[in-house]
Structure 1
Amino acid sequence: MEIRLKSARRYVEEIPTRLRVVGVWGGELTEGGQRLATREQITQMMEELKFRGDFGETLLLPVSASGGNEPEFVMLFGLGAKKRGVSLETVRKAGAKLVAAITKLGFKEAVTETFLAEKFGKKEASYALAEGAILGAYEFKKYKSDPEVKRLRLWLARSSGPAVDRAEIVAEAVNYARDLVNEPPNVLTPAELAERARELGRETGLQVMVWDERQIQQEGMGAFYGVAQGSANPPRFIQITYKPRGKPSRVLAYVGKGLTFDTGGYSLKPSESMTTMKSDMAGAAAVMGAMRAIARIGPNAEVRAYIAAAENMVSGSAYRVSDVLKSLSGKTIEVMNTDAEGRLTLADALTYADREGAEAIVELSTLTGACVVALGQGIAGLFATDDRLGKEVQEAALRAGEQVWPLPLEEDYRELLKSTTADLKNVSGARHGGAIMAGLFLSEFTEKPLVHLDIAGPAYTTNPHSLGPAGGTGFGVRTLVEMVAPGIAEE
């Protein structure tokens, strides 16, 4: 769907469109509805039709036209009950549901009040509503032979222009990440992901550098290359840098897992588990999406992104169980499971980010099924080697509307990663604590403050969700942007 948002300082009734949308909260018309000349007529029809305004419930009413031959309509949009737990996420989800409801009825233009602005403030409500509308309008129809493209122009009455502008930047970056995740793996190879990064650099002015397989080997990234060596599609190491105009307030590194397809290697996945493995680069997609938004917002922090892009395939040259790989850090790793490949690629990326001078590192990866078992498909696990950085990321995620939950890096478990053959094993061999063990393994490869976000649950969904369709969700983009560019621009 192609959606255009138009911010307006005017009230709903002052913008000439055939469809006006007002909220119903706690069974009553919100502020926008109270100003309508037809409010008494609307209230009476609500009572007659027993419309309660449950969240997402809609009621389309014809009202007296103000002029001309075309009838006018008011859509009542339910915002639920006035109860504890109502938050800006309610407004964000309302934006997504509203877009679907309007386009289903065939309208190509509408005006909506900015829901619950009286409760949360105009800027905050404008941002959440606009972001939800753009995320909810997302579709991936690139490979459909005859896709139907719906178009909608949506006016946000009494809204904050700067807040809507920022929401558009961030939401479009999320959709950019979704596009990357939804690409089929025969298209989005490591080389193609690197080319998309170059295109991003040309579009935004970001600095982009890409290493091919020879450079990766020459630099000593043995853990990364060990995973990649079994594929006919060679690996790429992608570096993207944003620098502010003045002296940066801080230097952060964002590292994203970039497995463009994961078979599990010789520790082969079952076929049903492979169907979503094009999404194993969702961490890389989130990092690239965040860099896209950061370049446009222009914060004062310097941000460096690193992606070790590879495929984990089965062939005569693929790495095996019991192989020993030498990482960029110099530590050797005994491979106990070739399906624990992401942490091997990330090990070298983390070491490189550390050596390049990052003050702190935030890493995102679809790393373990154990984290999905622990937290479900809607929540990412947060593992921090530094409490202060962990709290900063958690608070950024809360403001951004993405759910993360802190889990411990239990030091006593570290002994389970020791190998009798090499310095470390890539898995412990124990059935318990898999997500924690993965986080502990990653922490071996940097001395800098590190937050590892295991996004295996929320990065990809096989069913439609409250902010979009099935497929890549773009999870993590909003949190990463919020970390370095917090808040909504002042009017």
Structure 2
Amino acid sequence: MNITVEIGDFRQSETDAVLIPVLEDDFHNELILAADAALEGRIQAFLNLGDFKGKPKTTSVLYTNGAITAPRIILVGLGVYAELNAEKVRQVAGHTARQARDMGLKSITVPIPPETQDDWAQAAVEASLLSLYEFKQHKTQKDDNEDEDKTLESMTLLVGSEVEKSSLERIVERGQTIAKGTILARDLSNQPGNHLTPTQLAEKAEEVAETVRLNCTVFDKPTLEEKGFRTLLAVAQGSAEDPRFIILEYTPEGEGHDTVALVGKGITFDTGGISLKSGGGMHEMKHDMSGAAAVLGAMQVIGHLKPNVRVVGVIATTENMPGSTAIKPGDVVTSYGGKTIEILNTDAEGRLILADALGWTAQYEPQGVIDLATLTGAVITCLGHVAAGAMGTDDALMEKIKKAAEKTHERVWELPLWDDYDEGVKSKVADVQNIGDGTAGTLAGGAFLKKFAEGYPWVHLDIAGTAWGMKGSTYIPETASGYGVRLLVQLVEDW
């Protein structure tokens, strides 16, 4: 959908429908009164009936019968003003965009009151675009219930002055950029494993880097062997697909900038390896690279927005397959930083490749490192499909993440990473083992990663519950959500 900003009067707008926002506690704002006057009192008469109360995510369609240029006015409920916030605006915008599309409308116009807050306007732009997302790259035929192509092609935002237009255009551009990064992450996560191998993911990273002018370095298998990425190579050795290690770098102009590193788990398909997963739901393990997808989507946005912080995106990517050369339970491998790891469960492979990635990241001397990984099913038991589990070693970094999560509604919940949990990952034959004692599985994963996140502030986000399967949102599908892109971008920009 194309979004533009124009100066004009909604009564003369050539569009399929004009959307009029309505507060639950205010039926007499300027827009309603102007629309009511144009329709000779029909809107107030309709509102007086009480059928439409302005509650959030409710709409009502009125036909103008030629009273204005547009054939329809759609009243859009926002709820009570005192309870309105960016997330409620997102939910309303997502609901309304979907409804307009499902009605078969091609264009809509939304007059924007001058008192609209910038973050609300951005939220509406992001959610309108994200709500219309569909993954149909591999469909060659329409579904039985698809009688026609329904595509909402354009949304025009109307303002009253050049100053308002210039300001809103900047907000729209930012919202579109963030939405595109999120959609990139969704597309990558939704791709089947045979359409997104580690090599193909690296090629996509190179394409993104070229487009937004990031530095990109990709280590192939011989380079990984030379540099000592032994845990990444260990996970990869059961697969016919070679692993890749991807480094994306954004550096602002000038000197003295802080460095933030974003680290993503990129298992493009996870069978569990020799510790084979059950067949039910295994197809969803194409999503096991959602952490990598979030990092790549965020780096695309960061390349466009150019924040005043150096950002390094690090992605370790491979398949986890049960081939004849695969790692076995009981094997001991040595990580990039030199620590030895006893592998008790080959299905706890994400933390193995992150061990190398976190060890590598120390060389950038970062002021903050955030890793994102679909690490444990236990986090879904703990938090459901609502929030990511957050744990780490630095309170200040954790607070920054919480604030960014609050602004974007990509929620996190801090879990304790006390030293007590270290006992669960002690090995009898190596420095550390890759699973705990069967309790607190999410924290065992965090305790393991902590051993390799040394020398810098670090927070781990377990996104197994938020990468897909989220429900109840108008702008987030139940397939890949793109979780983490908006959160990471907000964190970097607020740094």
| Residues 168-216 of structure 1: per-residue CA shift (max 9 Å, x gap) | 1111110011111111110101111011111112211111111111211
Say which of 407, 426, 440 aligns to 2:447.
Answer: 440
Q: CA deviation at 1:137?
A: 1.4
Contact kept? 1:12, 1:20, Cα under 8 Å: yes
Which 5+ residue runs of structure 1 have no aligned equivalent?
A: none
* Whole-Å separation in 1 of the counterparts to 2:287 and 2:390: 20
Query: Which residue of the other structure, out of 267, 276, 293, is the alignment partner of 2:301?
Result: 293
In the TM superposition, what is the alpha-carbon distance from 1:8 to its structure 2 partner?
3.1
Deviation at residue 46 of structure 1 after TM alignment: 2.8
Residues 1:192 and 2:192 aligned together? no
SS in 2 for 1:230: coil
- Out of 217, 222, 225, the residue aligned to residue 214 of structure 1 is 222
Q: Hey, what does 1:281 align to over in structure 2?
A: 289
C-alpha displacement at 1:244, in angstroms?
1.2
Matched with 1:35 is 34
1:164 paired residue among 172, 178, 185: 172
Equivalent residue letter for 1:140: F
Q: State the 1:27 CA deviation.
A: 5.8
Match of residue 96, structure 1, among 94, 97, 121: 94
Distance 1:71 1:443, change over 3 A: closer
- Measured in 2, the distance between the counterparts of 1:23 and 1:197 equals 40
Q: Which residue identity does 1:132 align to in structure 2?
A: A
Which residues in structure 2 correspond to 1:473-488 (within 5 Å)? 473-486=481-494
Equivalent residue number for residue 127 of structure 2: 132
CA contact (8 A) 2:250 2:310 kept: yes
Give me the identity figure in percent: 36
Would you say how many aligned residue pairs link Structure 1 and Structure 2? Answer: 478
Distance in 1, Cα, partners of 2:270 & 2:433: 20
Which of 233, 238, 263 is matched with 1:230 structurally? 238
Quote how far apart the aligned CAs of 1:109 are: 1.1
Distance apart, 1:12 and its partner CA: 3.5
The counterpart of 1:422, out of the listed 414, 422, 430, is: 430
- Cα distance, 1:358 vs structure 2: 2.4
Report the equivalent of 1:105. Answer: 103
CA contact (8 A) 1:114 1:129 kept: no
Task: State the Cα deviation string for residues 253-301 of structure 1 (Å, max 9, x = none).
Answer: 1100000000111111111231210000000000000000000111121
Per the alignment, residue 145 of structure 2 pairs with: none
Aligned partners of 1:8 and 1:161 also within 8 Å: no
SS at the partner of 1:276? Answer: helix
User: How far is the alpha carbon of 1:33 from its aligned partner?
Assistant: 2.1
Alpha-carbon spacing, 1:266–1:464, altered in 2? closer, same or farther (3 Å): farther
CA positional deviation for 1:248: 4.9
Q: Distance in 2 between matches of 1:51 and 1:151?
A: 25
What is the alpha-carbon distance in structure 1 between the residues aligned to residue 252 and residue 279 of structure 2? 46
Q: Give yes or no for the alignment of 1:319 onto 2:327.
A: yes
Give the whole-Å Cα distance in 2 for the aligned partners of 1:365 and 1:22: 41
The more displaced of 6-15 and 277-286 is 6-15
Match of 2:466 among 458, 466, 480: 458
Query: Distance between the aligned counterparts of 1:194 and 1:464, measured in 2?
Result: 33
Check conservation: 2:391, 2:446, Cα contact below 8 A.
yes
| 1:308 equivalent in alignment to 2:316 | yes
Say whether the 8 Å CA contact 1:261–1:311 is kept in structure 2: yes
Distance in 2 (alpha carbons) for counterparts of 1:328 and 1:443: 14
Whichever residue aligns with residue 429 of structure 1, its letter is: D
Cα distance in 2 for partners of 1:405, 1:100 equals 30
Native 8 Å contact 2:469 2:479 kept in 1: yes
C-alpha deviation, 1:223, in angstroms: 1.3
* Alignment counterpart, residue 390 of structure 2, candidates 382, 391, 394: 382
Contact 2:15–2:70 at 8 Å: present in 1 too? Answer: no
Deviation of 1:28 (Å): 4.2
What do residues 76-110 of structure 1 show as CA deviations (whole Å, max 9, x unaligned)? 112234564x3210111111111111111121111
- Normalised to the residue count of structure 2, the TM-score between the two structures is 0.92
Q: Please, what is the CA RMSD of the aligned residues?
A: 2.0
TM-score by length of 1: 0.93
Corresponding residue of 2:75: 76
The answer to whether the aligner puts 1:272 opposite 2:280 as a matched pair is yes
Is 1:345 the counterpart of 2:353? The answer is yes
Residue equivalent to 2:62: 61
CA distance in 2, matches of 1:330, 1:149: 56
Secondary structure at 1:106 match in 2: coil
SS at match of 2:301: helix
1:356 aligned residue: 364
Select the residue among 116, 140, 148 that pairs with 1:145. 140
Bigger shift: 200-209 or 149-158? 149-158
- Matched to 1:76, the amino acid is L
Q: 1:71 to 1:12 in 2, by over 3 A?
A: closer
Which deviates more, 154-163 or 328-337?
A: 154-163
Q: Which amino acid in structure 1 is aligned with residue 104 of structure 2? A: G
| Structure 2 gap segments, 5+ residues each | 143-148
| Contact 1:346–1:442 (CA under 8 A) maintained in structure 2 | yes
Distance 1:228 1:31 in 2: 63
The SS at the match of 1:8 is strand
- Alpha-carbon distance in structure 2 between the residues aligned to 1:161 and 1:34: 26
1:137 aligned partner, one-letter code: L
Hey, what does 1:241 align to over in structure 2?
Answer: 249
Contact 1:248 1:302 (C-alpha < 8 Å) held by counterparts: no
**Contact 2:38-2:67 within 8 A present in 1 as well:** no
Most deviating of 355-364 and 86-95: 355-364
1:64 offset after TM fit, Å?
Answer: 4.4
Tell me: CA distance 1:100–1:422, structure 2 relative to 1, closer, same or farther (3 Å).
same
CA deviation string 1:207-237 (max 9, x = no partner): 1111111211221111111111100111111
Alpha-carbon distance in structure 1 between the residues aligned to 2:85 and 2:397: 25
Deviation at residue 14 of structure 1 after TM alignment: 5.2
**In structure 2, what is the equivalent of residue 20 of structure 1?**
18
Please give the alpha-carbon distance, in whole angstroms, between the structure 2 residues aligned to 1:8 and 1:439: 50
